[in-house]
Amino acid sequence: MAKKTVRDIDVSGKRVLVRVDFNVPLDSAGNVTDDTRIRAALPTIKYLIGERARVVLMSHLGRPKGKVDERYRMGPVADRLAQLLGAPVRKMDECIGDQVRQAADSLGEGDVMLLENVRFYPGEEKNEPDFARQLAALGDILVNDAFGTAHRAHASNKGVAEFIPAVAGFLMEKEISMLSRVLSEPAKPFVAIIGGAKVSDKIGVIDNLLQKVNALLIGGGMANTFLRAGGLETGKSLLEEDKVDLAKQLMRQAKELGVAMLLPVDVVVAPEASPGAESKVVAVQEIPGDAMALDIGPQTVQNFGARIKDAATVVWNGPMGVFEMEPFAGGTVAVARALADSNAVTVIGGGDSAAAVEKAGVADKITHISTGGGASLKFLEGKELPGVAALQDK
C-alpha cells in the first residue's frame, strides 16, 4: 500500500489519537445491539496497547447534528469496548478542553480512553480548524481506522491531519488495499455487477468500471432505464426518464470498449412493491403496463451466473431487486451465492449490497465486503477520498 500504516511508525509511549467507526446501532434503552464495528477496530486498538501506546479513541455515533444529544453519548460503546478488550476504558464526557487534555496527558502506556461523540461539536462536520487543532492537541499521531467516513472531509479525519502525522489503522489498510487491488490490477476476466435503485446514484461507478471490466452485468431498478433505452416498455417500474439518453450512451460506450453489457432478459413483476404482492416472472419484452419489475428473473440469474463462474475478479454494487421483501429477494440471493461459489476475488461495496450478502448467509465466502457504504462507492468511482488523501505516503 502507498500509504503509511500504524506498522510504519514508532508508537511506543506516544499519545495516539485513533479515529474509529463506533457508529453502532442502539436500542431504545441505549444498549448496543450490534457490536460488529467495535470488534472490527480491535486489531488496531490491541496492536497499539501491545506497543505500549497511550490510546485516545474518538468516533461519531448517530446524527446529533453538532450539539449534545443524550441519546448518542458514547457510554454504552465504552462499556462494550471494555468488555471486548478485557481492560478498562476511560470514557470522557467531552472531546476538547483542559480536562480532556489533562486526561490524555496522564494516560499510562497501554491505557485506553474514549472521547465523547465528535459530532456533538459543529466543528466536526464543518472541519473547523480550531476544533481540529484542539483534537490534535490530544495526540502525537493520528491513526485513522474509520473507512466508513473517509469520503467526508471532517475535523477528526482530515482537519487533525493538518496538525499531526496521520497513518492508516489495520481496518483502513485492508479496505484501501482490497479496493485498490481490484481497480488497479484486477485478474481477468473482470466482471462488475451493478444494481440498486437508480442509475443516477451509480453513474460515476459505471463510468469508471467500464474502462476496466470485461463484462458489466446490470440489474436492480436501474436496469429498467437501460431496458427503456433499448426500446422496451417497463410498465410502472422505477424509471428515470431523464437518464434514458445517458443509458444509451453507456451502452454505445460499452460496445466501443468491447465490454459485454448484460441486461435482464426476464424479470419478476408485481402490481406493487409489497411483501404480500402476487408476483410472476415475465420476459422483459412482456412487462405488463400496470406492473413493476422488482427483481431479475431465473434466466437472467443463469446468464449472470455463467459470467460470474468464469470471472477471476468480481466487483458487486447494488442489489438485483427489492431484496428487503421476500418475493423479490431471489435474484440478489442467487447472485450472492454465485459469488460465494466462484474462485474469483470477490469484492462488495455499498451498504445495501453488504446487507444483502449477510442476509444470503454467504458473507464468509466473499473475499472482501467493504464496511463503508458511501466511502466504497466513492472509491469505486476512482475518486481519492479526503480521509485517505490525508494519510502520509510511504
Q: What residue ranges bind ligand ADP (CB under 6 A)?
A: 196-197, 201, 220-221, 238, 293-294, 317-319, 321-322, 324, 350-353, 373
- Contact partner, 238, from Mg ion, ligand ADP, none, Cβ < 5-8 Å per class: ligand ADP
CB 122 within 8 A of CB 64: no
Annotation-wise, does 7 bind a ligand?
no
d(CA 317, CA 349): 5
Closer CB to ligand ADP, residue 157 or residue 234? 234
Least separation, in Å, of the C-beta of 225 and ligand ADP?
11
SS3 assignment, position 207: helix
User: Would residue 374 show up in a list of annotated catalytic residues for this protein?
Assistant: yes
User: Would residue 387 show up in a list of annotated catalytic residues for this protein?
Assistant: no
Q: Which sign does the torsion angle of CA 229, 232, 237, 242 carry?
A: positive
Annotation-wise, does 62 bind a ligand?
yes
Closer CB to ligand ADP, residue 157 or residue 317? 317
First to last CA, the chain: 8
Annotation-wise, does 324 bind a ligand?
yes
SS3 assignment, position 348: strand
Identify any residues that bridge with 346 across adjacent strands, giving them in sequence order: 314
Q: What is the 3-state secondary structure (H, E, C) of 214-242?
A: CEEEECCCHHHHHHHHCCCCCCCCCCCHH
Least separation, in Å, of the C-beta of 287 and ligand ADP?
11
Closer CB to ligand ADP, residue 241 or residue 393? 241
Closer CB to ligand ADP, residue 222 or residue 391? 222
How far are the Cα atoms of 209, 272, 275, 312, 336 from residue 315, in angstroms, in the given order? 9, 30, 29, 10, 11
Identity (one letter) of the amino acid at 354? A
Annotation-wise, does 212 bind a ligand?
no
Closer CB to ligand ADP, residue 297 or residue 318? 318
Q: Which of 66, 110, 374, 382 is catalytic?
A: 374
**Cβ-Cβ contacts under 8 Å for 86 (sequence gap 6 or more):** none
- Contact partner, 293, from Mg ion, ligand ADP, none, Cβ < 5-8 Å per class: ligand ADP
- Among 17, 196, 24, residue whose Cα is nearest residue 92: 17
Least separation, in Å, of the C-beta of 55 and Mg ion?
33
Annotation-wise, does 154 bind a ligand?
no
Annotation-wise, does 351 bind a ligand?
yes
User: Would residue 37 show up in a list of annotated catalytic residues for this protein?
Assistant: yes
Stretch that binds Mg ion, among 18-26, 31-39, 202-210, 345-353 (CB under 5 A): 345-353
How far are the Cα atoms of 136, 199, 248 from residue 204, in angstroms, in the given order? 34, 10, 16
DSSP-assigned letter for residue 325: S
Residues 346-385 touching Mg ion, rule: CB under 5 A, are 351-352
- Contact partner, 169, from ligand ADP, Mg ion, none, Cβ < 5-8 Å per class: none
Q: C-alpha grid cell for residue 127?
A: 472541519
User: Would residue 351 show up in a list of annotated catalytic residues for this protein?
Assistant: yes
CB 191 within 8 A of CB 311: yes
Least separation, in Å, of the C-beta of 268 and ligand ADP?
9
Least separation, in Å, of the C-beta of 103 and Mg ion?
38
Kindly list the residues in this chain that would bind Mg ion in the complex (CB under 5 A): 351-352
Point out the annotated binding site for substrate.
21-23, 37, 60-63, 119, 152
